[in-house]
Structure 1
């Protein structure tokens, strides 16, 4: 092939490359053992050039995994230079500072060869069900409490598996079949991506990806630069207080739009926590870049060229730039909040563009039972360890209501309750929208969920809680009201804390009430017919129609126009 690529060739090759990485991701989903990958899609997959630059990512996956993995491959190449890699080599790590932020994410990198020459790297990540240590707990004090730490190393050399490493994994985790199964799924998905890439390169007579890669990155970077250059230039600051663990946490940011780049600096953010809600800078970078791009240019492909347009800085020893050996298991508690902080800045620069605050951090239910964990003694108690993915409401948007029970910014899927019930002795008695939890506004915030869960073995079970919005709600924007606070409680007892290991006694039920998203705009300007619809559909309490929205309903449930005008104080 010539040393240039025509426009049609570039578009064909780009579309083909997207299909390659999506098949890579789907292979991981279809072969994974854990529900995090199979059901929730808590993964990432992508193809990189031999300089470690991400060229394309799969649609399937989360921003935290994808954007931090996009930077991690460079660390692999620093430790294992491209010239030293051989066909059949596979690399692995779960280093939180060189991977995707905590030990529960395994990242696997595979070099791909064409006619004896390395032409690309495929990388993939998945969240495993267990990695030892304290388990899925936010109560660790150092990284050493949190499980098996795998430095950058070979998982295979020239096709020979590192059985010593796999033996270490099996000896350290509570679910060895699932975890080792997921490692092989990571291997399989990279191999499938490599196979499809080689087929593509042979079909189009490509010796390498240098020309195509340069076009992809250059075009993406230029497209981002064009968008940013048209924005208001300057700096804007915002902050948000969230629950934290031992004390409330302040997340503060200054966003600067300068020329063709967006700079986000987290000076003013709280210092390190004693517990495992600290966030490595790689994860901070990942969700900050996602928040900026989602607001400014969601249509531009996500790759190294795009990510290079967003520069993230944070003082070390803050909760968003935690150094080794800080405990970081629940780093998503902080990371998922960062787009909301970024949007607090962007709302000043670009009014009527970004949504109100949402639940943001996931309300994943990490449920377990076993000796020493839930007060159960002996081997007769059925032990289990499962994380089932769920979420509260998203913030209202300038022209649309917030999405209910939708995980923004993470994008993971909810795990069906039938899956959880099939692999554990748990039963989910209720899973429904939490009426009235969406923040009032011209556009209403998204609703959270309400769930009731019990152990059908009539034994105690536990929840490793690591939730936010239990004390500080998602704030509304432009006059919108905050969303409802989240709560944990027992059906027969009192409230539970939203962080830490909580035990549900035998015969009792866990009640989970997830937060709602903030509203957007003055609630008294909401279309009365929409308020009446929300009451009819059971999305808000009838009394909220008048109290929060100033809408008076007739006996038939329709808005009383005259009474509503008087209640809202509108002129004649």
Structure 2
């Protein structure tokens, strides 16, 4: 391969990344749900004709991107090539073949150049409602958690499946928002397809084969070079989370080899009877993400990088089988990176960040007027984040979604979606674990129904009974808490009630500290005090 050819292929690779980024921006601009528009809870990517991911959009979450990378293969296994036509779009929310729970809608569209299939575009987004019990952990099986959409055609030759639309409208609480998001997802793939065909025609390509070979070869070579610099061996770790009504212990064994990484989750607790179970496709997504953060954070994420990570697990809470309830699969799934990083800290001492809040503190609110009065009903989804663990050489980031990477929804946007008031949303002083480098801060949030209204809410919180641990001598972060403003303590998981005139009080957990607290620089402590990150000790 000549130098000029390599340069041309690299330019085309970069162009492909810009195509999928525009694909993702289309979804953000057209989405109905605030979780997509404001928080970026989505993914977008382009695939070769074999269903191997070529490029992903920078916008998006690891849980969506990495599950979708595998999900496209599931679509190809069920829809034969002879049934694929220009203008098609395929859809599912199957937790085991998609992205882990029913609220995530995954769409895949074939991309044709003339009559030739040249690739696929896929995207995923979280919709506000899928019926059933609503977004929460209270279901006893997936059948209670909402409408299930097997892999089928959302559109064929450009004609939308009107029967599917009617079924959706009959089964969800917010039909306009949900159906609107389905059309947004389809539009997202269509924009990606158009930009790809423009690129191919401009450059004179009749297939993506040579570009795919370049991308995969370069990525695999770079990943293997990084793996060769790591110590070979096997390390094990455990981590305990709050669970639903009893603690849950997660276990992993990580094996680093020059030719790849293997993770085994043997020893993890059995599946729960509540909806906090995790399909293996989602567990693998976050395990791969954690490993890549350490091994090769600067190498593009695609089929070749993911192919070097293998996962094994008996049936347990990280490998739950149908029909286990999985609505809150993210609460346990978001703990997988800390579990993996605990093992890697043994292999790479002094180089791995401390534990953080992990799981998002998602809040689904079902608001309504008090009986006998007039008012507004609404389903409201709000994403919030605790503190990130301290890093070697740097303090942890406050109120930051690691590992999910979703953005916090602005209060103004959230209040517009329903009859609630967010009275307080601020960093929580003293919540970051002490250390040479301080853990990131959690938040304090107060939410109340508008006058004449009340609401039920689904709590999806963790690190209330098991705080984020520090690393290398650092202190643990502060645990979280859930209560009403009259002092009534509430559960960290499950549907609960906030009556009219009361406020929901959330104290989000902080991240663990890194290193010996005695080594923290005096200037850093003074800065913490001046900014209110810590309070002065009482006499």
Could you say which TM-score interval applies, normalised by the shorter chain? Answer: over 0.9
Shift of 1:502: 1.7
Determine helix, strand or coil for the equivalent of 1:496: coil
Aligned partner of 1:491 in structure 2 is 485
Paired with 1:5 and 1:131, the residues of 2 have a C-alpha distance of 51
- Equivalent residues in 2 for 1:339-354, closer than 5 Å: 339-354=337-352
1:492-524: CA deviation from partner (whole Å, max 9, x where unpaired)? 232111111121121011111000000001111
Other-structure match for 1:359? 357
Confirm or deny: 8 A CA contact 1:169 1:180 kept in the other structure.
Answer: yes
- Partners of 2:361 and 2:508 within 8 A in 1: yes
Deviation track 1:315-335 (CA, whole Å, cap 9, x = no partner) reads: 12x000001000000000111
Counterpart in the other structure of 2:98 = 99
Q: Please state if 1:541 is matched with 2:527.
A: no
Q: Secondary structure of 1:543's match?
A: coil
Residue 438 of structure 1: aligned partner: 432
Shift of 1:377: 3.7
User: Partner of 2:319 in structure 1?
Assistant: 321
Q: What SS does the aligned partner of 2:494 have? A: strand
- Please point out which of 330, 333, 341 is paired with 2:331: 333
Deviation for aligned residue 1:380:
3.3
Deviation at 1:82, TM superposition (A): 2.8
In the alignment, does 2:243 pair up with 1:249? no
Contact 2:368/2:453 (CA < 8 Å) preserved in 1? no
- What is the alpha-carbon distance in structure 1 between the residues aligned to residue 127 and residue 518 of structure 2? 47
1:428 maps to 2:422:
yes
Match of 1:504 in 2: 498
> Which 5+ residue runs of structure 1 have no aligned equivalent?
547-572
Structure-2 separation of matches of 1:345 and 1:151: 37
Which residue among 403, 406, 410 is the counterpart of 2:404?
Answer: 410
**Partner of 1:352: helix, strand, or coil?**
coil
Provide the rounded CA distance (Å) in 2 between the counterparts of 1:403 and 1:337. Answer: 17
Structure 2 stretches lacking a partner, 5+ long: none
**Alpha-carbon distance in structure 1 between the residues aligned to 2:133 and 2:367:** 14
Following TM superposition, the consecutive aligned residue runs of length 4 or more in structure 1 with deviations greater than 4 angstroms are: 2-5
- Give the structure-2-normalised TM-score: 0.98
Task: Confirm or deny that 1:389 pairs with 2:383.
Answer: yes
Structure 2: distance between partners of 1:364 and 1:481 = 26
CA gap of 1:97–1:378, structure 2 versus 1, over 3 A, is farther
Give the direction of change, closer, same or farther, for the CA distance of 1:479–1:4 in structure 2 (3 Å limit): closer
Deviation, 1:4, is: 11
**CA distance in 2: counterparts of 1:82 and 1:349, whole angstroms:** 45
Residue 414 of structure 1: how far off its partner (Å)? 0.1
Q: CA deviation at 1:462?
A: 2.0
Could you say what secondary structure the match of 1:409 adopts? Answer: coil
Deviations along 1:369-404, one digit per CA (max 9) or x if unpaired, are 248xxxx54673532111111100000001100000
Contact 2:395–2:439 (CA under 8 A) maintained in structure 1? yes
For residues 312 and 334 of structure 1, what CA distance do their matches in structure 2 show?
17
Alpha-carbon contact 1:50-1:82 (below 8 Å) kept: no
- Distance in 1 between the 2:378 and 2:510 partners? 30
- What is the distance in 1 between the residues matched to 2:480 and 2:27? 33
Report the Cα distance in structure 1 between the residues aligned to 2:179 and 2:532, rounded to whole angstroms: 45
Q: Is the 8 A contact 2:108 2:120 kept in 1?
A: yes
Q: What is the TM-score normalised by the length of structure 1?
A: 0.92
